[in-house]
Structure 1
Amino acid sequence: MFERPVVILRRLSRKLWVRVSAFAVLSLTSALMGTVLEASLSPALTDRFDLEGLMPVLTILASSMLAVSTFSLNVMVSAHLSAAAQATPRVHRLLLDDTTTQNVLSVFIGAFVYALSSIILLKAQAYASSSAVIMLVVTIAVVVLVILALLRWIDHLSDLGSLDATLDLTESHARTALTALRQRPALGGVPLTTDTVLPEYLTPIPAQKSGYLQWIDLAALAACSETPGQQIYANHRPGQSVLQGQPLALAAGAPSPATVDRMAQAFLIGDKRSFEQDAGLGLLTLSEIASRALSSGVNDPGTAIEAIARTERLLWEWAQTPMPASPEIAHPTVFVPELPASTLISAAFAAPARDGAGQIEVVRRLLKALTELQGCADTDLAAAAKDMTKIARAYAENALTLPQERESLDYTHRWPS
């Protein structure tokens, strides 16, 4: 099964307008259901309800949901702007994918669209007389959904846009991406290493646009092979920037121009990095939150220390998770470069090491985290942490003004967290 259409459909399902449109269709569907089911409904039931009796309920629903939707949208925008200002603009993308906010707003706006559409159809006499029963059932269902959404929204507002909730959300996405990286280090393909022997003749697969590589559809790449076992070697991983015309991959042999074009379409390129296959983006976002907290305008070292602690926990858990005995290789003809452990360490700690070098409490927590990671089970990650420790120590020795603070760096590993 090709992955790119699934990714596009999943992203489309997260759009607010898609869910709202479903409620608009609901009003038209209820009218159609009344016409289709007219013959099967008993006269005693249809005579008991009339369409005009639904007008007050629909009117109240339309007016109240318009006010609630407007208020909720203002709250959402304010919370997102506040989170982006406190943390980093990258978290705005995570908040936009918040399913609770999406579902609640879609219910509010959808209920308004449903009520307004139903009123228009009633005034246009589009409903059959027997539709009153169907309309009543649908309206009751919409009211129940609205009540449940209101209760959920009240609970969700307590931490919407807060720094703690933002850190939790970022950590959750980072953990998901790191878990996927551990299970499939080459995204389901064969790891491309320096020991991989490349064929003599290779055809470049150029990027169709400039931007960030967000997703590689390995199934689509494998399906493009013109000959059995034709090998394809990816040059980039998701998260890296590419330029139009730059080779995204190399295909063995000389595939036709049409095949080269299909191969290029297997690489999803966007204007921004995506959390889906990009294991380093979550760590980078946490480090940006730490750097923002260390800026002179914010001056919140406690948040920086919290972000460092969460990053340490994520990398430790990732390193302690055993590698599969035989990593999943669903597409043996597609080679993908592995993500170096040094890239993860750099994304996680390079910015706090630089921006927090002048604050001893941040330096101590950072060096403690790096010291702990040097003892993890993953030897590559441990070596990268050791290299980053030297860099962080050099930053601190250059930025700290008191000799006592510089001397204390030799005993950082003894300090409590």
Structure 2
Amino acid sequence: MARSSTLFSPDRLRYFVSRIQERLWIRPLVLCVLSIAATFVARLADDTGLADVVPDINPDSVESLLSIMASSMLVIATFAVGSMVAAYASASTAATPRSIPLVIADDVTQNALSAFIGAFIFSLVSLIAAQNGLFGEAGRFAIFTLTLLVFIIVIVTFVRWVDRIARLGRVVNTIGQVEHAASNALKRRRRSPTLCAQPVTANQSDTTGTAVYSSTVGYIQNIDMEALQICAEEFDCRVRVTALPGTFVTPQRALLRIEGKSEGSTEDFVSAFKIGDNRTFEDDPRFGLLALSEIADKALSPGINDPGTAINVVGTLVRLFTQWQAPLTNDELDEITFKRVHVPELMLSDMFDDAFTAIARDGAGFFEVSIRLQKALHALAETGDESMTAAACAHSRAALARSERAMSHPEDIAAVRKAAAFSATFSSKTSSDDGND
């Protein structure tokens, strides 16, 4: 009952739409159907009185125009596919394979491919219909008008697509796409730190309640909170989620724990968890931070040796953490609607590990990267948030230790130590404040 009642819940629908956007064939298929429908709509014009008011279009001109479009659109569509495949390969090689779903979901590129294929199908179907005498005087005028309209759409789409394909797959553009996805995920989690459920309290132990497991091995991509709430109401129990989106689960890793339920099937509880082979960006803010860190880490590899990209990523991470730390008003926070479900909040220390550990490790020997990393952590430590200050200071000390071991020039080491001096200052201030308490 719970599963069927939440089949079209807003959260599940959002997840489904996100997955659809990553499929290249969806939009071209829709445009092909609309193109075929447009041909038959033009045929309906002959059943109206338009023949008395519209000019008579030469059938040869209509067929010539459709022939030109059919031949050119097939070539352009083939060229578009080749360019897109090259862009995807570039994004995977230069940035990170984790960014491929975002590159594929690019709206301009998908719309361009759909427009080219749709125009080809439209011209081909319309040409066959015209050559077989399907259109009368009004129908020829309608199909001629539609053909001109399709030409305009294709030209505008092609110009926009050329501008986008020139940047698609480039590292800077990929960083921007990952930042946008991570920012959206962080905004949703900031508005609802516990996914509109009750927070996990200190007296709720990890061992209390009945553990529920899944037989599927993979990453949690989405949790249908409404389904969990309905199941909890049906069984008159409380549910504590122990695996958030992004968690790798096995048959030995508990998805949740049920408190107050003594008997009955747990299948409906398990079905609320969508488990897949890969992590996704929408409900997993840490995945966006990790993908950005991977881009910077790859840029620091000896084969690429591009510290500028790593510095760019560090600045991006500072923006994201600043956004995460910014306070929200009560009106901006989502209301807790799932009263019987308890969900833990994200740990800021884990988010810092995802974002900065790899950069600090593989960028320790780069003077410019080490300095920029220390300045970034200093900026985050000054936000006024105690947990963020503690995490920033801890990563600053760890990064400094790595730089001291990786660098050989004394002046470089001294400069990095100077940039990292803030961590000792903040730590001593924190200790002093604790002593005053």
Is TM (by shorter chain) over 0.5? yes
- The more displaced of 95-104 and 108-117 is 108-117
Is the contact between residue 88 and residue 103 of structure 2 (CA under 8 Å) also seen in structure 1? Answer: yes
* Residues 15-414 of structure 1 mapped to structure 2, 5 A cutoff: 15-34=23-42, 36=44, 38-45=46-53, 48-49=56-57, 53-122=61-130, 131-196=139-204, 201-202=209-210, 204-227=211-234, 230-244=237-251, 246-252=253-259, 253-254=261-262, 256-257=264-265, 260-322=266-328, 324=330, 328-412=335-419
Is the contact between residue 55 and residue 141 of structure 2 (CA under 8 Å) also seen in structure 1? Answer: no
Q: Give the 3 Å change call, closer, same or farther, for CA 285–323 of structure 1 in structure 2.
A: farther
CA RMSD of the aligned region, Å? 2.7
Secondary structure of 2:338's match? coil
Unaligned runs of 5+ in 1: none
Q: Give the 3 Å change call, closer, same or farther, for CA 127–21 of structure 1 in structure 2.
A: farther
Is the contact between residue 51 and residue 137 of structure 2 (CA under 8 Å) also seen in structure 1? Answer: no
Alpha-carbon deviations, 1:196-215, whole Å to 9, x = none? 3789653x333252111111
Give the distance between the partners of 2:248 and 2:207, measured in 1 at CA.
Answer: 26
Give the distance between the partners of 1:7 and 1:124, measured in 2 at CA.
Answer: 46
Scaled by the length of structure 2, the TM-score of the pair is 0.86
The AA in structure 2 aligned to 1:305 is I
Give the distance between the partners of 2:67 and 2:267, measured in 1 at CA.
Answer: 54
- The more displaced of 174-183 and 115-124 is 115-124
Give the distance between the partners of 2:162 and 2:340, measured in 1 at CA.
Answer: 51
Is the contact between residue 43 and residue 139 of structure 2 (CA under 8 Å) also seen in structure 1? Answer: yes
Scaled by the length of structure 1, the TM-score of the pair is 0.89
The AA in structure 1 aligned to 2:372 is R
Give the distance between the partners of 2:206 and 2:301, measured in 1 at CA.
Answer: 47
Is the contact between residue 61 and residue 115 of structure 1 (CA under 8 Å) also seen in structure 2? Answer: yes
| TM-fit CA distance, 1:84 | 2.0
Is the contact between residue 22 and residue 102 of structure 2 (CA under 8 Å) also seen in structure 1? Answer: no
Give the distance between the partners of 1:351 and 1:74, measured in 2 at CA.
Answer: 34
| TM-fit CA distance, 1:51 | 5.8
| TM-fit CA distance, 1:70 | 1.2
Q: Give the 3 Å change call, closer, same or farther, for CA 52–282 of structure 1 in structure 2.
A: same
**Alignment coverage as a number of residue pairs:** 412
Alpha-carbon deviations, 1:248-292, whole Å to 9, x = none? 1223304632xx223222211111110101111111111111111
Secondary structure of 2:255's match? strand
Give the distance between the partners of 1:59 and 1:245, measured in 2 at CA.
Answer: 62
| TM-fit CA distance, 1:135 | 2.7
Q: Give the 3 Å change call, closer, same or farther, for CA 383–363 of structure 1 in structure 2.
A: same
Give the distance between the partners of 1:124 and 1:336, measured in 2 at CA.
Answer: 65
Secondary structure of 2:203's match? coil
Q: Give the 3 Å change call, closer, same or farther, for CA 35–245 of structure 1 in structure 2.
A: farther
Unaligned runs of 5+ in 2: 1-8, 423-437
The AA in structure 1 aligned to 2:202 is T
- The more displaced of 192-201 and 331-340 is 192-201
Paired position in structure 1 for 2:432: none
Percent identity, please.
33
Is the contact between residue 46 and residue 132 of structure 1 (CA under 8 Å) also seen in structure 2? Answer: no
